[in-house]
Amino acid sequence: MSKTPIIVYSATWCGFCHMAKDYFDKQGIAYEDRDVESDPQFATEAVTKSGQRGIPVIDIDGEIIVGFDRPKIDAAIAKSA
Protein backbone atom coordinates (compact mmCIF):
# COMPACT_ATOMS: atom_id res chain seq x y z
CA MET A 1 0.00 0.00 0.00
CA SER A 2 1.33 3.42 -0.95
CA LYS A 3 1.85 6.21 1.57
CA THR A 4 2.43 8.63 -1.32
CA PRO A 5 0.04 11.59 -1.37
CA ILE A 6 -2.25 11.15 -4.38
CA ILE A 7 -4.95 13.56 -5.53
CA VAL A 8 -7.40 12.68 -8.30
CA TYR A 9 -9.25 15.59 -9.88
CA SER A 10 -12.38 14.06 -11.35
CA ALA A 11 -16.07 14.41 -12.21
CA THR A 12 -18.94 11.98 -11.75
CA TRP A 13 -19.61 11.74 -15.52
CA CYS A 14 -15.97 10.98 -16.45
CA GLY A 15 -15.38 7.34 -17.38
CA PHE A 16 -11.59 7.60 -17.24
CA CYS A 17 -11.87 9.17 -13.79
CA HIS A 18 -13.83 6.14 -12.61
CA MET A 19 -11.24 3.83 -14.17
CA ALA A 20 -8.40 5.62 -12.35
CA LYS A 21 -10.16 5.55 -8.98
CA ASP A 22 -11.17 1.90 -9.44
CA TYR A 23 -7.54 1.07 -10.21
CA PHE A 24 -6.33 2.76 -7.02
CA ASP A 25 -9.10 1.06 -5.01
CA LYS A 26 -8.21 -2.40 -6.35
CA GLN A 27 -4.51 -1.79 -5.60
CA GLY A 28 -5.35 -0.63 -2.06
CA ILE A 29 -3.87 2.79 -2.76
CA ALA A 30 -5.34 5.70 -0.83
CA TYR A 31 -6.10 8.92 -2.69
CA GLU A 32 -8.01 12.14 -2.23
CA ASP A 33 -10.82 12.63 -4.73
CA ARG A 34 -11.46 16.25 -5.71
CA ASP A 35 -14.67 16.66 -7.72
CA VAL A 36 -14.14 19.53 -10.16
CA GLU A 37 -17.89 19.93 -10.64
CA SER A 38 -18.76 20.36 -6.97
CA ASP A 39 -15.95 22.82 -6.20
CA PRO A 40 -14.73 25.34 -8.80
CA GLN A 41 -11.49 25.74 -6.83
CA PHE A 42 -10.66 22.09 -7.59
CA ALA A 43 -11.22 22.76 -11.30
CA THR A 44 -8.87 25.74 -11.11
CA GLU A 45 -6.24 23.64 -9.30
CA ALA A 46 -6.47 20.90 -11.95
CA VAL A 47 -6.01 23.36 -14.82
CA THR A 48 -3.15 25.13 -13.02
CA LYS A 49 -1.33 21.84 -12.34
CA SER A 50 -1.88 20.28 -15.77
CA GLY A 51 -1.98 23.29 -18.08
CA GLN A 52 -5.13 21.95 -19.72
CA ARG A 53 -8.80 21.26 -19.05
CA GLY A 54 -8.92 17.47 -19.42
CA ILE A 55 -9.64 15.11 -16.55
CA PRO A 56 -8.72 13.09 -14.70
CA VAL A 57 -5.72 15.00 -13.48
CA ILE A 58 -3.75 12.79 -11.13
CA ASP A 59 -1.17 14.34 -8.80
CA ILE A 60 1.18 11.72 -7.39
CA ASP A 61 3.52 13.46 -4.97
CA GLY A 62 3.82 16.42 -7.36
CA GLU A 63 4.03 14.42 -10.60
CA ILE A 64 1.07 15.34 -12.80
CA ILE A 65 -0.57 12.75 -15.06
CA VAL A 66 -3.49 13.68 -17.29
CA GLY A 67 -5.84 10.83 -18.13
CA PHE A 68 -5.78 7.23 -16.98
CA ASP A 69 -2.30 6.15 -18.03
CA ARG A 70 -1.56 3.04 -15.97
CA PRO A 71 2.15 2.75 -16.87
CA LYS A 72 2.77 6.39 -15.93
CA ILE A 73 0.75 5.98 -12.72
CA ASP A 74 2.70 2.85 -11.74
CA ALA A 75 6.03 4.54 -12.53
CA ALA A 76 5.14 7.65 -10.51
CA ILE A 77 4.07 5.55 -7.51
CA ALA A 78 7.22 3.42 -7.71
CA LYS A 79 9.41 6.52 -7.98
CA SER A 80 7.85 8.22 -4.97
CA ALA A 81 7.68 5.13 -2.74
Give the count of domains, the chain: 1
Please give the angle made by the CA atoms of 38, 2 and 11, to the nearest 5 degrees. 15
> Which tens digits make up the pLDDT trace of 40-54?
999 999 999 999 999
In a domain, 1, yes or no: no
pLDDT for 3 equals: 66
> Which tens digits make up the pLDDT trace of 19-78?
999 999 999 999 999 999 999 999 999 999 999 999 999 999 999 999 999 999 999 999
pLDDT for 1 equals: 46
In a domain, 70, yes or no: yes
In a domain, 22, yes or no: yes
Q: What percent of the chain has pLDDT over 90?
A: 91
pTM: 0.93
* Structural domain boundaries, residue 69: 6-80
In a domain, 17, yes or no: yes
In a domain, 65, yes or no: yes
Whether the Cβ atoms of residue 34 and residue 25 lie closer than 8 Å to each other: no
Q: What is the CATH number of the domain that holds 24?
A: 3.40.30.10
In a domain, 74, yes or no: yes
